[in-house]
Structure 1
Amino acid sequence: MAFEPPRRLVRALGETAPEGDDWLERLPEALRQAVDLRGLTVERVQVPGGRGSLVVLVSAADGRPAVLKLAPPRARPEAERTALAHWGGRGAVELLEPRAAEGVLLLERLHPDVSVRSLAESRALLEAAGTLRRLWVQPPADHPFETVAGRTGRQAAGMRAGAEAHPEVAPLVDAALLAREELLAAPPEERLLHGTFRQSKVLAGDRMPWLAVGPDPVVGEPAFDLARLVRDRVEDLIAQPSGAATTRRRIKRLAESLEVDRDRLRGWTLFRAVESGVRAARVGRPRDAELLLEFAGWL
């Protein structure tokens, strides 16, 4: 099966690939095997697609449209499978094949080119927040998911290294790490979270108007999940003369609509923006780093 993986995927995986990783080289054969095993017909590769997986639009043997997703181990596809099975299609894309080869997911077909980003900003935030609320459920017993404390602990180490390499960001890193420490000292009740939620992760569906895709599930407090949504369309926020005030209003509105503590949402928004900005600088995306760190400075 001849195909070219999307350039976005190649670039993103190149930023995070451990030494000796050959997942991209093995991808054509893995795709062929996954398609042949299930008797699927390939329609097209989704472009630009995701940053951590190959998404292929397919038809099942009975003609039903579906999505075949292949992801490397570092994208934690088995955690995604477990989370989707636990949600059972409530607020998220439905898993069509509970058991499959590691790193292969067969999913309900949504409308991949229509996300809530196609809506006006205020309506998009409302619809995205409503989708996110449905995902905040009790995690399964003996769950395999990473915790917010564990994930942000790993990220904190990278932030400290980034501050050493770029001393000008050290004050923001210190503020973000202090916020994390205070937030983890007295966390509210934990829920299963999407983990990487934003407007582009909410697609139009048939059985429900909007459904979430692409989770990197984690267990922790809902404010952590909501924090990523606060900075959606960050480039538009930065371009506005009133961007800082708009951000504060967005935090207030989202916190009130989803019954999340406003200060906790602000703290996690700060941490996640600084972490993303430092990481963008480390992998050679200076423009993204500049936007994210300027946004973080408003918080």
Structure 2
Amino acid sequence: MAFEPPGRLVRALGETAPEGDDWLAGLPGAARRAVELRGLTVERVQVPGGRSSLVLLVRTADGSPAVLKLAPPRARPESERAALAHWAGRGAVRLLEEAPVAGELLLEKLRPDVSVRSLPEARALLEAAGTLRKLWVEPPAGHSFETVAERTGRQAAAMRAGAAADPAVAPLVDAALAARAELLAAPAEEKLLHGTFRQSKVLAGDRVPWLAVGPDPVVGDPAFDLARLVRDRVEDLIAQPSGASTTRRRIKRLAESLEVDRDRLRDWTLFRAVESGVRAGRVGRARDAELLLEFAGWL
């Protein structure tokens, strides 16, 4: 079977490696070796799949369904492995093998075509928030996970460069960076976080109704994790005449339901929306940048 990477993965990796990507070029061969090593039978490549990994739906040697995920080092698959091992299936997809092979994850099979995003908006937010709550646990002793301060520090540097290149975004960047500084000056409790949580990262399962997938884990303020969920379906929010007020109600509802400080949630939502908007503009996704920065302006 040919293991050609889906177009979505090729485009997304091209944004972070515009001069070409050795990992992507070697992916078909790596996938064949990973399958042969485990004695797997491949059913299909998941399409459109993710933006940072190749996902294969497979069966193990005993016929059990599973998922094989291959990701490049810059997607931090070993950090994902460590987080999934720590959660041990509580709120998140389970690891199915203990002996790790770098960049390769064998996972329990969920229903990859059914996420909470398929539910009506109010129910989707409820189910997603309930799943996220399960992931907020104490990080393991001596962990090596990136912290929120470290990750957002790297992002802040890129945001400043984006503002220098496009003065039109400078006021929002300044506001977002000021919000970050205030948040880090008064730190909240630190938990292990999913890091890139949104509705499409919560898939239907058999063991429990909904489980999170695809973490890029960090340790820090839970409001940072929840902030990405606030802007889910941003295109729908922007299309609504009441989008700004709907966003404020969403912040209030999510903050209350997950017991996080509403002001911290608003400020992290601002930072993450501006960061994503500036990054989208930098790689040529002008429409995404426009939506995200308009959304940020409401905050």
Separation in 2, partners of 1:227, 1:156: 16
The answer for unaligned runs of 5 or more in structure 2 is none
Q: What do residues 73-98 of structure 1 show as CA deviations (whole Å, max 9, x unaligned)?
A: 00000000000000000000000012
CA-CA distance at 1:188 after TM superposition:
1.1
Please state if 1:119 is matched with 2:123: no
Letter in 1 for 2:92: A
| Correspondence for 2:276 | 276
Task: Give the superposition deviation at 1:19.
Answer: 5.0
Using the alignment, how far apart are the partners of 2:26 and 2:252 within structure 1? Answer: 47
Partner of 1:198: 198
For the 8 Å contact 1:193–1:217, the answer to whether it is kept is: yes
- Separation (CA, whole Å) in 1 of partners of 2:3 and 2:77: 22
Are residues 1:287 and 2:287 paired? yes
Aligned to 1:144: 144
User: Residues 13 and 52 of structure 2 are in contact (CA less than 8 Å); yes or no, is this contact kept in structure 1?
Assistant: yes
Q: TM-score, normalised by structure 2?
A: 0.99
CA positional deviation for 1:18: 7.0
Verify the 8 A CA contact 2:110 2:205 in the aligned structure 1. yes
Cα separation, 1, equivalents of 2:27 and 2:244: 43
Q: Deviations over 1:224-263 (max 9, x none)?
A: 0000000000000000000000000000000000000000
Counterparts of 2:139 and 2:205, CA distance in 1: 25
Worse-superposed segment, 257-266 or 3-12: 3-12
Identity value in percent: 85
Corresponding residue number in structure 1 for 2:83: 83
Deviation digits for residues 84-138 of structure 1 (CA, Å, limit 9, x no counterpart) = 0000000000000122210000000000000000100000000000000000000
Within 2, Cα distance between the matches of 1:98 and 1:163?
45
**What amino acid is the match of 2:254?**
L
Partner of 2:159: 159
Q: Residue 58 of structure 1 contacts residue 65 of structure 1 at CA under 8 Å; is this kept in 2?
A: yes
Asked if structure 2 preserves the Cα contact closer than 8 Å seen for 1:45 and 1:57, the reply is yes
Name the SS of the counterpart of 2:66 in structure 1.
strand
Distance (whole Å) between structure 2 residues aligned to residue 54 and residue 208 of structure 1: 25
Give the CA deviation at 1:160.
0.3
In the alignment, the residues of structure 1 paired with residue 12 and residue 251 of structure 2 have an alpha-carbon distance, to the nearest angstrom, of: 29
Which string of whole-angstrom CA distances, capped at 9 and with x for unpartnered residues, describes residues 18-75 of structure 1? 7563001100110001000000000000000000000000000101000000000000
Task: Tell me the equivalent position of 2:98.
Answer: 98
C-alpha contact (below 8 Å) 2:3/2:31 kept by paired residues: no
Identify the range of structure 1 (217-226 vs 3-12) with the bigger mean alpha-carbon deviation. Answer: 3-12
Distance 1:122 1:165 in 2: 39
2:26 partner SS: helix
Inter-partner Cα distance in structure 2 for 1:227 and 1:289:
17
Say if 2:96 and 2:108, in contact at 8 Å, map to a contact too.
Answer: yes
Q: Give the Cα–Cα distance (whole angstroms) in 2 for the partners of residues 274 and 36 of structure 1.
A: 44
Distance across 1 between alignment mates of 2:24 and 2:67: 19
Counterpart CA distance in 1 for 2:255 and 2:267 is 12
Letter in 2 for 1:9: L
> TM-score w.r.t. structure 1 length?
0.99
Partner in structure 1 of residue 34 of structure 2 = 34
- 1:225 aligns with 225
2:176 counterpart of 1:176: yes
Residue in 1 that maps onto 2:21: 21
On the 8 A contact 2:3/2:32 being kept in 1, the answer is no
> 1:146 aligns to what SS in structure 2?
coil
- Please give the root-mean-square deviation of Cα atoms over the aligned residues, in Å: 0.8
